[in-house]
Structure 1
Amino acid sequence: MIIKEKKIHFWNGNKSATRRNYEKQLLTLCLQEAGITDADIIVDECDYPVAEDEGNVFSNGCDLLVSVAGNQKFSGKPTTIIEIPVCRGVLGHRLLVIPQKQAEYFANINNIHQLQQMTIGIPATWADADLFRHNGFTVSEKGSLDDLFMRLLDREFDYIALGANEIESIFEQFNGEKKGLLLEPTILIYYSLPLVFYIHPHRQDLVSIIKSGLTTAIANGKHESLFEEHHPDLINRLALRTRTAFRLTNPYLPSQLKNFRPKL
């Protein structure tokens, strides 16, 4: 395969450190599996707290990025989406962070209306905010991931929902347990939220390269190995199959991914 320009500007901001590391290594793997060994990947981890700014990253030199399929910030933008999920749907498995004092109350939740009647805290610009609102939840969308835990402690809202692939590292990073917070052990909120590559319309060379490399890595098992390296024993460690599960709908999925099912 032929790459038009060896420099590849990869925007990798507005996400947790866990996702940044995985998605950066995934891009390298895709290039390698497509036979591209001399690319110069320039990683931009700048965060954009304003949704409009994130939606305009392709106007600021970005060649490609990874985001959730159907991200409304890119709706109508001239981008090419490779509709092959890159993280097996794990981001749509949302687990809760709650105040420790509320552990008994959450452990007795048995219907979705109880969660809808409370308020969920979500950082500004996160795609989840519109999705939760669509499903009848009360949402406090404000600030950044960095201040989310302090806002929960200040009781601005009742709980946080984070992806199973990142919740442990984020909780540890912000010393959640020491601050009186808890990784709630009984509830799972699930919605289809596949992560996919978005590519600048002027870098069509990358479309065929990334698609070929990702397809090859999935077929030969290297994609699964990378996933397991970053998310070891995820299902058992977080008891994903034994929690009380509440399923939400995602109206923003592109038509090709309407029937997406996670592969965990």
Structure 2
Amino acid sequence: MKRLAVLVALLGLSYGSVAWAANIEIRHNKAESPKEAYQLSVLQLALSYDKANQYQYVPTQNTYSQSKLIKELENQHLDVIWLGTTQEYEQKFIPIRVPLYKGLLGHRVFIIRDGEQGTFSSVTSLDDLRLLKAGQGRYWADTQILSHANIPVITTSKYPNLFYMLEGARFDYFPRGVHEPWAEINAHQDLPLTVEQDLLLVYPLPAYLFVHANNPQLAAVITKGLEQALSDGSFDKQFYANPMIKQVLANANLGARRVFKINNPNLSEHTPFSDKRLWLDISVL
């Protein structure tokens, strides 16, 4: 890409003792929600370590769907997107393999019907959980993960239906990311639903920054910046100070829950499980 060719050239140029900085546009999805704002802040943190250049962040006019984001990056109309990773995405684009949420998105709590906490309090093993039915979207990656773990799943193609199907006892629980269920229940106050209090289902589900395969220079700058942020503690400081994440950790009470871990068959063999800096450790919360 022309802008990044300019970056590479200018990195090596100076006039006397003065280094000339490039002004580089970074086109990205509009960050309207707290979740998207946090993801953008991680990108900004990474690029803040590049003192040789200045970055201008250019959002889309509207917030794009995931499928639209992927298409726009494929066509190089965007420079960076953030996605929950899959092997397909990692083959198509360049992944920056630093989980934006330290794997928090793979920590699932359940929406259940009012009055049924006792059923879940008696679950002490994954085999016990397999006696109950989960509800999920038909094409969600989570559905494949649960099915691969032999957890029964009832699906629908329409997300809003899941709340009414749960209320109607079509299934027993609705696994949600820890940042999701309280707002969703608040949006469905007409239904007798609540957040389950004792259990936590965990599987690796990292969200990464991705850049186009033709843009390795930008990928290298972001990777270097995130490595520096991890090394000096800035990444963790920003993560734990984020208001959305602070509220999620307070609501979910992760450290007090019984944890059941399952595998994610959709992950690349290059997923950096061995780097403990990258992953949330709920035992210290």
TM-score range normalised by the length of the shorter chain = 0.7 to 0.9
Question: Of 33, 42, 55, which aligns to 1:38?
Answer: 55
Contact 2:105-2:177 at 8 Å conserved across structures: yes
2:248 and 2:181 map into 1 onto residues whose CA distance is 11
Query: Per-residue CA shift, 1:118-174, capped at 9, x if unaligned?
Result: 3322235432121111111222343455554334324343211122244444444x2
State the AA in 1 paired with 2:222: I
1:206 and 1:147 map into 2 onto residues whose CA distance is 41
How has the CA–CA distance of structure 1 residues 83 and 108 changed in structure 2, closer, same or farther, with 3 Å as cutoff? same
* Structure 2: gaps (5+ residues): 9-21
Q: TM-score, normalised by structure 1?
A: 0.81
1:20 and 1:124 map into 2 onto residues whose CA distance is 24
2:83 and 2:27 map into 1 onto residues whose CA distance is 15
Question: Equivalent residue for 2:79?
Answer: 63
Corresponding pairs, count: 255
Question: Equivalent residue for 1:94?
Answer: 108
How has the CA–CA distance of structure 1 residues 18 and 42 changed in structure 2, closer, same or farther, with 3 Å as cutoff? closer
1:146 and 1:42 map into 2 onto residues whose CA distance is 28
1:18 and 1:157 map into 2 onto residues whose CA distance is 30
* Structure 1: gaps (5+ residues): none
Question: Of 5, 8, 26, which aligns to 1:8?
Answer: 26
Question: Equivalent residue for 2:255?
Answer: 241
Is 1:255 aligned to residue 272 of structure 2?
no
Contact 1:123-1:144 at 8 Å conserved across structures: yes
Name the Cα RMSD after superposition: 3.1
Deviation, 1:202, is: 2.1
Query: Per-residue CA shift, 1:33-84, capped at 9, x if unaligned?
Result: 3335432332463225xx7x77645334343222233x1552642x111212
2:221 and 2:74 map into 1 onto residues whose CA distance is 22
Question: Of 132, 139, 142, which aligns to 1:128?
Answer: 142
Which stretch shifts more, 25-34 or 206-215? 25-34
Is 1:211 aligned to residue 219 of structure 2?
no
Does 1 or 2 have the higher relative contact order (CA < 8 Å, sep 6+)? Answer: 1
Contact 1:72-1:127 at 8 Å conserved across structures: no
Q: TM-score, normalised by structure 2?
A: 0.75
3-state SS, counterpart of residue 39 of structure 1:
strand
State the AA in 2 paired with 1:9: R
State the AA in 1 paired with 2:74: S
Q: Give % identity.
A: 21
Contact 2:87-2:267 at 8 Å conserved across structures: no
Is 1:149 aligned to residue 167 of structure 2?
no
Contact 2:26-2:55 at 8 Å conserved across structures: no
How has the CA–CA distance of structure 1 residues 130 and 183 changed in structure 2, closer, same or farther, with 3 Å as cutoff? same
